[in-house]
Amino acid sequence: MQYFVQQLVNGLTLGSIYGLIAIGYTMVYGIIGMINFAHGDIFMVGAFTALIVFLILAAAFGSVPIVVALLVMMIVAMLLTSLYNWTIEKVAYRPLRGSFRLAPLITAIGMSIALSNFVQVTQGPRNKPIPPMVSQVYNIGGISISLKQIIIVVVTAVLLALFWYLVNRTALGRAQRACEQDRKMAALLGIDVDRTISITFIMGAALAAVAGTLFLMYYGVVSFSDGFVPGVKAFTAAVLGGIGSLPGAVLGGLLIGFIESMWSAYFSIDYKDVAAFSILAIVLIFLPSGILGRPEVEKV
Amino acid sequence: MAGAPLLDIKGVHTYYGNIRALNGVNVSVNEGEIVALIGANGAGKSTLMMTVFGAPRARTGTITFAGTDITQMPTHEIARLRIAQSPEGRRIFPRMTVMENLQMGASLDNLKYYDEDVEKVFTLFPRLKERINQRGGTLSGGEQQMLSIGRALMARPKLLLLDEPSLGLAPLIVKQIFDAIRELNRTQGLTVFLVEQNAFGALKLATRGYVMVNGNVTMSGTGKDLLANPEVRAAYLEGGHH
């Protein structure tokens, strides 16, 4: 039982990170119907930015209080990563809007490769480690919970609450949902659709940057290729939860996190990715619109 | 007729791909008028309504609103000049509540006059008040029509475009809506440009009217004259609603 609960805790931690990334996939899909395959690499850029900020902080001030360091890392990562995603949308996706359906998808794969190669060339191909930032571990009833895990879950929860408020209770969120449901009508009501789409890319990137920062803190290492596997897993999470659904992205993220940690614990850790991706195939066959997704047809 | 028209459409051609939908249309709407555009299905009436918003864009010709050339202006900027539309198909946001749909209508002023204006809409369509927290997609066709018109009114428009406001509504509600349009026009001087299949009702309501056939305006005149015109009677009124 203790072992099982331990795995739940680990799964929750992983799932939080996947959920934060998955929101970016699902929001962009919701509003312009494309899968932004570069989103995983946006996450990786976020992690790298956090790494660089950490190294600068360490070099400039020696030891910095952990809360301050994390906060600065997150904010800088959010800003820079948003700028990347905003630019990608503007130069690579917007000109192709209204083109045939595969064009933005192919371009997104191109952007993904461009980003990871860019980081590989500028930062080098090796894993970049940082010294452990947080090392406290608490033992609660035989279950060990590290401070890192607590930070990840708390930061994710706070961010999701803010994000929920933004989407459901503000004019910006309303405009986003309107664009998602009927772009042309939104424009007829005076909503600047292009700007709303840009903001969606910025929001998705900001969440991915936080996920990247948390990822770096958790594993203590990042490399240029780290966008791929977490990216595809987060994408799987978005599909599992129902692509286009925000609660679905979070639920899917948590489920993928649980599946991965349970599989590693009870079966084989080498096959954990196989398990996660088998889920993608199974979901697509038996539940194409995901757990919380809606079927394409709706009453007009 | 003093000064330039509020909306002036001159020689507009609009295409869907290579298919020509509007063939050199000239239509003008003066401030304070109710102008009706009648014609058969597929004549291009709705296309003209959407062309005013640049979606689709006129390939040739010009559209001016209150002296500003809006032919090439982005759709959302045209809306910000206070032209509102209840479009073909109503286009209610299906997964937003009635309230949120009305709030979207009021987004130009960032909800500044929302409370005041929403009461006016509820006076016009009390049914919407009962449905305030229901999702748009679950409303009946008639309720969606009311919501679509209400949403357009929330924008405090100078010019209101109505595409088939009577479509799918019970005769009693059609009468209510036409009365409401007349009232808004009389008391607030709201300028209205409407497309209708219900030619009789529309021409009775309108100051002036246009008849459209295959992307061309073939006739125009006062509402009264068109109602009395034998050709119009034969094509759009005989055997129709009386």
Average pLDDT over residues A19-30: 94
The interface predicted TM-score of the complex, written ipTM, equals: 0.93
> Which residues pair with residue B10 across a beta bridge?
B62
Phi, psi of B62 (to 5 degrees): -130, 150
Interchain CB contact of B94 with A (< 8 Å): yes
Give the CATH class of B1-82+159-165+189-242: alpha beta
Q: What is the pLDDT of residues B1-39, one digit of tens each?
A: 456 899 999 999 999 999 999 999 999 999 999 999 999
SS (H, E, C) chain A: CHHHHHHHHHHHHHHHHHHHHHHHHHHHHHHHCCCCCCHHHHHHHHHHHHHHHHHHHHHHHCCCCHHHHHHHHHHHHHHHHHHHHHHHHHHHHHHHCCCCCHHHHHHHHHHHHHHHHHHHHHHCCCCEECCCCCCCEEEECCEEEEHHHHHHHHHHHHHHHHHHHHHHHCHHHHHHHHHHHCHHHHHHCCCCHHHHHHHHHHHHHHHHHHHHHHHHHHHCEECHHHHHHHHHHHHHHHHHHCCCCHHHHHHHHHHHHHHHHHHHHHCCHHHHHHHHHHHHHHHHHHCCCCCCCCCCCCCC
**A-to-B residue pairs, Cβ atoms closer than 8 angstroms:** 73
Residue B66 has pLDDT above 70, yes or no: yes
Residue B242 has pLDDT above 50, yes or no: no
Question: So what's the pLDDT on residue A295?
Answer: 65
Q: What is the pLDDT of residues A36-48, one digit of tens each?
A: 999 999 999 999 9
Task: Please say whether the beta carbons of B46 and B197 come within 8 A.
Answer: no
B215 dihedral zone (left: phi>0; alpha: psi -120 to 50; beta): left
Q: What is the pLDDT of residues A287-299, one digit of tens each?
A: 888 888 876 544 3
Contacts B107 to A, Cβ<8 Å: 171, 174-175, 189-191
Question: So what's the pLDDT on residue A42?
Answer: 97
Interchain CB contact of B85 with A (< 8 Å): yes
> pTM for this structure?
0.91
Q: In chain A, what are the domain boundaries? A: 23-223
Query: B55 vs A187: CB contact, 8 Å cut-off?
Result: yes
Chain B interface, mutation test: which of A170, A182, A188, most B Cβ atoms within 10 Å?
Answer: A188
Contacts B93 to A, Cβ<8 Å: 177-178, 181-182, 185
Q: What is the pLDDT of residues B187-233, one digit of tens each?
A: 989 999 999 988 899 999 999 999 999 999 999 999 999 999 988 88
Sign of CA dihedral A58, A60, A64, A70: negative
